[in-house]
Structure 1
């Protein structure tokens, strides 16, 4: 079964980079902190490439960041609501778009 990957948004990458710079770690040291044997997933994360979901969440956890905010999902991407008539409102497709950042591995 394929594992799901997540891509950080541009704003999420900027925020994560600011926090990472304050740690003083190299990418290799940070990979060890996250429990990885290589820095490749760290590089992918900061380069806006797909990262395995569990690793993405661990990276955000070690940086004390909300992974859903960094990925642009969850409460940060309200997709569907009801309008005044009580019918479903799909007019805000821009809010649904961040969900497309979750992708299958390449």
Structure 2
């Protein structure tokens, strides 16, 4: 697993197929049971966040991108005060863009 801290609010994590195998997770697993997948990515966050800059109270989003080597790139971002982002009753981030009229 490779970790890159992009900024104070974003982590970039590279998981190879071997990393997934070590954790007994396949690419098919990542596309199945939502609660299992969520639990897996939170465990990766716990492992990667050694300095605890992503506290348990922070709302986070996960962006998962498959790589050509059968691994994944994972971007974990804190949800900071942003008028375009809200959190629904289940704790999921909801993104909205408002149309503004420009003269």
TM range (shorter): 0.3 to 0.5
Using structure 2 for the length normalisation, give the TM-score.
0.33
Higher helix share: 1
- Greater relative contact order structure (CA < 8 Å, 6+ sep): 1
Whichever structure has more strand as a proportion of its residues is 2
